[in-house]
Amino acid sequence: VRDPTLGLKVIHLVRDPRAVASSRIKSRHGLIRESLQVVRSRDPRVHRVPFLDAGHKLGVKKEGGGGSDYHALGAMEVICSSMAKTLQTALRPPDWLRGNYMAVRYEDLVVDPIKTLRQVYGFVNLAVSPEMEKFALNMTSGPGYSSKPFVVSARNATQALSAWRTALSYQQIKQVEEYCHQPMALLGYERVGSPEEVKDLSRTLLRKPQL
């Protein structure tokens, strides 16, 4: 980034941590080793946020997930801690980063793909081709939402955005919010106050980000 001959810019794609947690749990078998590595990379000097559900321990069968769900949620503490540090740097950028960093919310990309795509391309001084705009629309206007992990396909944007609200238990949602409240606040992801609020899909839980 410091090399003026490269003109390097950073585009940071982010997503609602609750959706990330849901995806990691859905992909539990493919990500169990990776989740373990993430958890083990935790800084021992940092105070751990305890599980809100004291009975949710490793090896205990819980809503079908057991230990893999435990590790998937535990990994979110490390992931969100790292994300918070990155976003704090972006809020108060050093000279070499100022003007060279852009955060893009996944939710904005799928709700308004053309507008967001043009913003991203404008950030790097490029024009969006009609073919790329057509591709973006197709990828966010598919007929459904795949339940298979690691599959890239056209999908219904509304279903993709709200899938975590039906896939996660209220306890799991509150756990992720406890781990991730700092980056969620900076990125404009609203916390929920009740199970009923989670199920009310007419409410987007999105507000203007601080970045």
Q: How far apart are CA 192 and CA 171, in angstroms?
A: 11
**CATH of segment(s) 10-53+66-199:** 3.40.50
Task: Please state, in angstroms and as integers, the Cα–Cα distance from residue 85 to each residue in 7, 110, 112, 183, following that order.
Answer: 24, 26, 28, 9
Average pLDDT, the chain: 82
Mean pLDDT of 185-189: 97
Considering only residues 71 and 204, tell me which one the structure prediction assigns the higher pLDDT: 204
Mean pLDDT of 172-188: 96
Q: What is the pLDDT of residue 32?
A: 55
Pull the structure tokens for residue 51: 């599980």
pLDDT tens digit string along 61-74?
444 445 557 777 88
Mean pLDDT of 166-175: 94
> For the chain, which residues make up each domain, given as ranges?
10-53+66-199
Q: Which of 85-89, 151-155, 197-201 has the lowest mean pLDDT?
A: 151-155
pLDDT tens digit string along 137-167?
887 776 655 555 555 555 566 677 889 999 9
pLDDT tens digit string along 115-142?
999 999 999 999 999 999 998 888 777 6
Alpha-carbon dihedral angle through residues 193, 196, 202, 206, given to the nearest 10 degrees? 20
